[in-house]
Structure 1
């Protein structure tokens, strides 16, 4: 199987298709090194057509929905899960309530197998309430599933999660991890915006969210909503991908995305991981600390710190000590040469007031 992927990048020696996507042709099955080099490092979303088409769970759905449910039942560990349930009036669009007070859906905890039955029944009943289960670790809920439906392009420590439900729409949000989403049953439409579109997306609260991540209020609103005049700039940059069963989409961290499950019954498996971490500390944690340390200082001082962050952290002009021999780089040398631990120890000492 070839990757046969279509990336949304607009540069590089690739064939631009009629719809503006870029076709990246691969001649052999993907391997971990090629996946990192050709897909992850460029930092652009990439569609990988047919990546998981040979999974037994995908093939089980070729026969019928009942066959898929029977397949999942083989692994069911009997765990309970929290389901999102929406009245028909919301048409499967899970969102905030009026004026951001509460939400337009309810949550109900039930056994995984019972939830699957209810989802299948709702999918077969026009006008029924929408329902979905999200982000369930398969190792806990479906032990053995990952072994039969493996993805060797990822490290074995990266474990899958399952999402299953009726037709629904998840609000536009970002993840702080790289994300590989594999459609198992049904169809999905992903609408993506680049990270720097954040200023035009009118992002909601970061500590009052539907499922952990802040969402774009503008992306879920009616077109030309007067509350969000700058959203037109983001909309013009939107990338839309339609995926069928067996297809996958790689989304780099911090890319905004809304996800529409467009068939009556839908199942997706995804993987979250940080392929470029040097240690346990997350960039999001650094951002939160910078907010309390810098965000409300005077304009001139924030500009000064921005220059220092660019020089030492973002490094648009290269390594800050490139003018010195590597032996003289000190803690600015390679993190993998022991400097990760040295810097972290210094930071922890400063946070303790030492």
Structure 2
């Protein structure tokens, strides 16, 4: 049975600090109804010609790479059956051409989808004209526009505020620790950068994915309409169905809790290269060390010592720099 996401009153999010405290810090998905209902962009999307004219005011002229699918895929962008290729093609075109093809009156003969477009590059000035007061300072939004589509279940390595401007979107969310039940595809042969959960895209009861029923039982389904927003913490899996003839979304990606210059995924890649092929007992030993020093389920590893004796593990940004410097020396063989 699908669960429900937490919802918060838009009026409570007076600034980025309130958003961080009330929404980001619990690290759970949160729905914000009516978050962007007053945007000029939200008014423009009510008419295809008005939207084209509005976006043209900001267009910088850079070509975009769009996904284009035949009618047979019904907007479901995915792998071919053998995972060797994809069921859509990529086409480079002007943003204005993509918008024109998406908003063309009449029944679409193909599905077109242009996504992850940084507005500061493709549409400078659009973000200032459509501000989100509680978004973290300095975070530039991205634009996603297309016909009806289904984007395969994937995760992001950054925190995400997804704002629906046109159309309706259904997000199906799975928590990060469901990864083992999602049967994740290749990490180096992907549609758009992130690996996808193959089981979430398969027919229910597919015998290739027997553990998926455990993930499905923990799924959270969120339906958003125009003006609504969804906060998703990093590493939450999400399948996205855009259900309108015209769908437009603006999202904000950022790291809500940065610690240093390195992203945790870099550490994961190094751990896979150094640990994954070792014998199971040794992997278990390293898992205990990772838990003790990095994940700390029992608290600080030197809590039994006075703080002045915590050394490089002391709670100080300079100590983080020292740990990183030592790791870099070791990687260089020093």
Regarding TM over 0.5, the answer is yes
Q: Which residue of structure 1 lines up, in the alignment, with residue 76 of structure 2?
A: 93
218, 240, 250: which is aligned to 2:231? 250
For residues 259-317 of structure 1, the C-alpha deviation after alignment (integer angstroms, 9 at most, x for no partner) is 11100001100111101111210110000000011111111111111111111100111
Q: Kindly indicate whether the alpha-carbon contact (under 8 Å) linking 1:278 and 1:335 is maintained by their aligned counterparts in 2.
A: no
Q: Which residue of structure 2 lines up, in the alignment, with residue 35 of structure 1?
A: 19
Q: Kindly indicate whether the alpha-carbon contact (under 8 Å) linking 2:10 and 2:35 is maintained by their aligned counterparts in 1.
A: no
- CA distance 1:213–1:20, shift in 2 (3 Å): closer
Instruction: Find out whether 1:129 has 2:110 as its counterpart.
Output: yes
User: 2:40 & 2:181 partners in 1: Cα distance?
Assistant: 42
Deviation at 1:24, TM superposition (A): 4.0
Q: Kindly indicate whether the alpha-carbon contact (under 8 Å) linking 1:174 and 1:255 is maintained by their aligned counterparts in 2.
A: yes
Q: How does 1:307-318 map to 2 (within 5 A)?
A: 307-318=288-299
Q: Kindly indicate whether the alpha-carbon contact (under 8 Å) linking 1:189 and 1:241 is maintained by their aligned counterparts in 2.
A: yes
Deviation at 1:161, TM superposition (A): 0.5
User: 1:292 & 1:259 partners in 2: Cα distance?
Assistant: 32
Q: Which residue of structure 2 lines up, in the alignment, with residue 47 of structure 1?
A: 31
- CA distance 1:208–1:273, shift in 2 (3 Å): same
Q: How does 1:153-302 map to 2 (within 5 A)?
A: 153-302=134-283
SS in 2 for 1:219: helix
Instruction: Find out whether 1:56 has 2:40 as its counterpart.
Output: yes
Q: Which residue of structure 2 lines up, in the alignment, with residue 347 of structure 1?
A: 327
Q: Kindly indicate whether the alpha-carbon contact (under 8 Å) linking 1:191 and 1:240 is maintained by their aligned counterparts in 2.
A: yes
Asked which structure has the greater RCO (Cα within 8 Å, sep 6+), the reply is: 2
Q: CA RMSD in A?
A: 1.5
User: 2:167 & 2:252 partners in 1: Cα distance?
Assistant: 18
Q: Kindly indicate whether the alpha-carbon contact (under 8 Å) linking 2:158 and 2:234 is maintained by their aligned counterparts in 1.
A: yes
Deviation at 1:44, TM superposition (A): 0.4
Q: Kindly indicate whether the alpha-carbon contact (under 8 Å) linking 1:204 and 1:217 is maintained by their aligned counterparts in 2.
A: yes
- CA distance 1:26–1:242, shift in 2 (3 Å): closer
Unaligned runs of 5+ in 2: none
User: What TM-score do the two structures reach when normalised by structure 2?
Assistant: 0.96
For residues 244-264 of structure 1, the C-alpha deviation after alignment (integer angstroms, 9 at most, x for no partner) is 111100000000001111000
Give the number of aligned pairs: 333
